[in-house]
Structure 1
Amino acid sequence: MNGFDHLKWLKRRGTKVNWHLIDWIWHVRGCLSIPAQQTSSEVFCKIDPLFQEFGTTHELKNESLVFSKKNQPSQDKMAVFDDGVLSIESKKEGSVLQYDLRSKTLLFCFLAPFFFLAMAELTIVVKHLQKPSTEVSQSLAEKEKEEEARYLIQSPIDKALGVPAPEKKTDKDDEKQGKKKLSPVAAYVFAGIFSVLYVIGRISEALSVKSLFRKYLSEY
C-alpha cells in the first residue's frame, strides 16, 4: 500500500483528520482566469497537448478533466505529478480554471528528512550503547601500546648489525581508526539536503505549472 492508498484507506474508515492542513504537502493547487469569450471545451482543447504524453491517461467529466500518469518520461512537462483534476468554475469575477495536482515525488522529499533524522538518532543510540565496550577496548589498546613500546626499543646488537628500527604507529593510523566510528553527521547532511530539495521543489513546481497552464491558455 503506497502513501496515497493509505490516505484513501484512512478516509474510508472515517478517520477524523483535517486533510487540508496536511495534504498541501503533496498537493499543488491554484486557479487561472479564463477570458469571457472562451468556452470550457476551448479551454480543455488548448491544454489537451499536455495530457497526450506517454503514460498519461485523461478523460472529461462534467466540466472537469481528470488525469493520471504512470511511468511518465522525464521530458514530460508535468512529469512530477502523478494525477489530478482540472475544472472550470464560475465566479463573480468570471470563469476560472482550477486545478488540484498530486505528486509522490514531493511527498517522498518531505518524508525523507524524517527518515534520515531517525537514522541519525538510531546511530546516536547505538553509539551510546557501544560506549562501555569501547572503554574496555581502549584500556586493552593502552596495554598493547605499553607492550609495543618495549619491543620498539632497539637493542645495541641490532643497531650494530644495521637492522632498521621498528616503526611506531602514527597519528594518521589513529585517525583512520577514529573514522571507522559511528557518526550521525552523514544522516543530518542528507536530511538537510532533502529538506532544501522539498522547499525548492514545492515552490518551483507550483510556479512552473501555473506558468505552463497560462502559456497554453494564451495561445490562439
Structure 2
Amino acid sequence: MNLRLIDWIWHVRGTLPLAPAQSGDDALDRLAPLFGQPGTSYERASLDGAAQELTFTKKDQAAQDKMSVFDGGTLRIEAGADGAVLRYHLISRALLFCFLAPLLFLGIAQLTIVFDPHKNAPTEKAEKTKKADKKDEVVQLNPIDKALGAPAPEKPDKDDEDGGKGGSGKHGKKPATTPAYVFAGIFAALYLIGRILEDRLIRRLFRKTLAGE
C-alpha cells in the first residue's frame, strides 16, 4: 500500500512562490526565526541545482510556538517555471491523534454493547409472559394455615411485577454508550477543523514571514 495515499491525514504539504528578486538564502534567513524556539532544532543544506533545504524537528514544544502543532518537516527552495518557490512538508502527530481518537471511542462503544451484562437476560416480553403465568396461578394455603384461619396470600402489585415505577426493570436498561459517541464526535470535529485551519494558518504564516511582515 502506498503510504502517500493516507499520510495526508497528518502531513501538511504546500507550495508558495517567492518574490521575483528574492533568493533562496534570503528566504531561509527570513524563515529561520520560526525555528529558533525552545525544543526546536533545524539544519540548512544546499542541494544540487541551487536548491536549498531546511529540515527541523520539535520536542516538547511550547504552546506559544506558532508551529507547535507540528513535530517536524522540511522546507525546500526550488526553481519553478515562474521563478523560485518554497515547498514545505510538515508532520503533525496531534492531527493523527485527533483522527484516531474517534475510532477508539467508537470501538469502546461497540465493546460496551458486546459485553453488556443484560444482553443475554430474558427479554421484556418473556418477563411479562412469565409474570402473567404466575399471576394466573391459584395460590393455595396449606392445611395448617387454613385451619388457623390465615388469610389467602395477596396477588403481587403491578408495580412490583414490572420492577418498579414506569415498568423498566433492570433488564430494560441499555448500555451507556452515549459518552463514547459524544467524545468520538468531539474529536472528529477537532480533526476536521484542525486539518483545514492548520493548513491555512501555516501557509499564511510562511507568506507573511517571507514578505517581512
TM range (shorter): 0.7 to 0.9
Specify every segment of 5 or more residues in structure 1 that has no aligned partner in the other structure, as ranges.
Answer: 1-16, 153-168
The alignment covers a number of residue pairs equal to: 181
2:49 counterpart of 1:60: no
TM-score (normalised: structure 2): 0.74
Aligned to 1:203: 196
TM-score (normalised: structure 1): 0.72
The separation in 2 between residues aligned to 1:135 and 1:46, in whole angstroms, is 70
Give the alignment of 1:164-179 within 5 angstroms: none
The separation in 2 between residues aligned to 1:22 and 1:132, in whole angstroms, is 40
Aligned to 2:30: 46
2:102 counterpart of 1:118: no
- Report SS of the residue matched to 2:56: strand
Alpha-carbon offset, residue 31 of structure 1: 0.9
Aligned to 1:130: 118
The separation in 1 between residues aligned to 2:172 and 2:182, in whole angstroms, is 17
Letter in 2 for 1:211: R
Whether the aligned pair in 1 keeps the contact of 2:122 and 2:171 (CA below 8 Å) is no
Percent identity over paired residues: 45
Aligned to 1:216: 209
Alpha-carbon offset, residue 151 of structure 1: 10
Alpha-carbon offset, residue 124 of structure 1: 1.5
Give 2:7's match in structure 1, choosing from 19, 23, 39: 23
After TM superposition, the runs of 4+ consecutive aligned structure 1 residues lying more than 4 A away are 149-152, 177-181
Aligned to 2:140: none
The separation in 1 between residues aligned to 2:173 and 2:66, in whole angstroms, is 44
Letter in 1 for 2:15: C
- Report SS of the residue matched to 2:206: helix
Structure with more helix by fraction: 1
User: Aligned-residue CA RMSD in angstroms?
Assistant: 3.0
Whether the aligned pair in 1 keeps the contact of 2:27 and 2:210 (CA below 8 Å) is yes
Whether the aligned pair in 1 keeps the contact of 2:9 and 2:95 (CA below 8 Å) is yes
The separation in 2 between residues aligned to 1:211 and 1:178, in whole angstroms, is 57
Larger radius of gyration: 2
- Report SS of the residue matched to 1:86: strand
Per-residue CA distance 1:128-151 (angstroms, 9 max, x = gap): x63233659x95xx7xxx9xx889
Alpha-carbon offset, residue 84 of structure 1: 0.1
Larger mean CA deviation between 40-49 and 204-213 belongs to 40-49
Letter in 2 for 1:192: G
Per-residue CA distance 1:34-84 (angstroms, 9 max, x = gap): 112111111111011100111000010221000000000001000000000
The separation in 1 between residues aligned to 2:102 and 2:156, in whole angstroms, is 51
Per-residue CA distance 1:126-184 (angstroms, 9 max, x = gap): 22x63233659x95xx7xxx9xx8899xxxxxxxxxxxxxxxx655xx69x79975222
